[in-house]
Amino acid sequence: MAVTGTPAPTPAPVDDDRPRTIVAPVAFGDRVFRGLLRGAGLAVLAMTASILVFLVLQALTAFKAVGIRFFTTPTWFISTHQFGIAAILPLGVVIAVIALIIAVPVGVATALFISEYAPARMRRALISMIDLMAAIPSIIVALFGLYFVMPRILGFDSWLSHHLGFIPVFSFGLQNYASNYASATFIAGVVVSVMVIPILTSLSRQVFSQAPQGEREAAYALGATRWGMIRMVVLPYGRAGVIGASMLGLGRALGETIAVSFILTPVFAFGYHVLESGGNSVTFMIATHLLEAGPTEISALMAAGLVLFAMTLVVNTLAAIIISRSRSGATASAD
């Protein structure tokens, strides 16, 4: 029998509110309905699988041409079959790591500020603002990075290399011209961090705000200051959520294309001097080379994309598992 219109009245609440197990024969219509929904779910799985399949198929030519050397060759000479991702993949990872080194402390601090310190009146506005910023397209970040950050950060780069150059990462082997600091891995990392901060803040804030009120009050009752309460209750409660959020941020940073291609000029040798001009990443190679590529290079780019896809899939899946296993993260969502 079908019910139409508005939902019917619920039965009066019972004292014993455990859900009853409903045993009912599944009707034909329901079987079709469930089949359809299951089909939709499987279609999403199939979509992911077909991305993998198509990338693998397209990448075969490149793998046949260079074999395992694809992972050990830093150069990108297509015609002589000397191409690989030994430089571009780690260079891209360095960008993502720089972005995270900046974004995790800033994001967590901002999340704590919003959830614990901001006046209750401002909180709602701040939350919507951060959520909105997480939805700002990366091309806007790229514009900001190329035309605002880059001209202004060169002096700071020079300052870092002069005064902190004894730290190997900040050492600078080139001449001290502004152009030698431009388009560097470090700048790309800073710009990507501007993109990752809102995502990380939004996720961490959701987790922090769920720290149980009872435990907070217990901490206060034991004489904790607000910082003491945060250290004892909020941070331990949110730890797994923050780790998961950071990994999602890492996935985003690894896959970021546009901001990176606005900033970088390509190099094909791995170096850890992040202040020196030039950098690379798989996404950057695909965005700049795919449209002018011949068949072998297309295949090589597909292979590089496949490696990146596999890597981000692993990182994101781990993040999803960490979040869903944690006490705090079961209801936090990525968007």
Partner 1 sequence: MLTQESQPRVPADAGPQGPGQKVRISRFTPAGLMTVAGAAAGALGLVWVLYERVLPLSGVLGFWLSWYVVFLLFYVAMARIQWDWREVSHRLATVAFVTGGTLAIVIVLGQVVFTLLRGSGVVIHGNFYTQSMAFAGPLSPLTSGGVLHAMVGTVEQIAIATIFSVPLAVATGLFLAEVGGAVARPVRVIVEAMTALPDIIAGLFVYALFILTLGLQKSGLAASIALSVTMIPIIARASEVVLRLVPGTLREAAYALGASQWRTVWNVVLSTARSGLATAVVLGMARGIGETAPVLVVTGVTKEMNFDPLQGPQMSLPLFIYNYAHTEAGRAAYIARGFGAGFALVLVVLLLFTIARMIGGSAPGQLSRRQRRRLGRQAAQG
Of residues 167-226, those binding partner 1 (CB under 8 A): 194, 197-198, 201, 213, 217, 220-221, 225-226
Name the residue nearer to partner 1 (CB basis): 50 or 269.
50
- Other beta carbons within 10 Å of 129: 13
Q: x/- contact string, 99-138, with partner 1 (CB under 8 A)?
A: -------xx-xx-xxx-xxx-x---x-xxxxxxxx-xxxx
Start-to-end CA distance of the chain, whole Å, equals 39
Footprint of partner 1 on residues 55-84 (CB under 8 A)? 55, 57-58
Cβ atoms of 85 and 72 within 8 Å: the answer is: no
The upper half-sphere exposure of residue 163, i.e. CA atoms within 13 Å in the direction of its Cβ, equals 6
Within residues 231-290, the interface with partner 1 by CB under 8 A covers 248, 251-252, 254-258, 261-262, 283, 286-287, 290
Report the residue number, 87 or 153, with the smaller CB distance to partner 1.
153
User: Does 21 engage in binding with partner 1 (CB under 8 A)?
Assistant: no
Q: Which of 126, 112, 181, 173 is nearest to 153 (CA)?
A: 181
Is 108 exposed, middle or buried, given 0-12, 13-18 or 19+ CB atoms closer than 10 A?
Answer: buried
Strands (DSSP E) along 55-131, which ranges? 76-77, 82-83
> Of 76, 66, 103, nearest to 280 (Cα)?
76
Residue list 309-328, contact with partner 1 (CB under 8 A): 309, 312-313, 316-317, 319-321
Q: Which stretch binds partner 1 (CB under 8 A): 78-86, 172-180, 266-274, 298-306?
A: 298-306
Report CA Rg, the chain: 25
Under rule CB under 8 A, which residues in 144-163 are in contact with partner 1? 144, 146-148, 152-153, 155-156, 158-160, 163
Identify the CA nearest to 281 among candidates 81, 150, 94, 75.
94
Which residue of 19, 80, 175, 292 would you call a contact of partner 1, by CB under 8 A? 19
**Of residues 66, 98, 141, 207, which one binds partner 1 by CB under 8 A?**
141
Instruction: Give the largest CA-CA distance in the chain.
Output: 82
Is 329 a binding residue for partner 1 by CB under 8 A? The answer is no
Q: Residue 4 interacts with partner 1 (CB under 8 A)?
A: yes
Contact status: 18 vs partner 1 (CB under 8 A):
no
Number of residues counted as binding partner 1 (CB under 8 A): 124
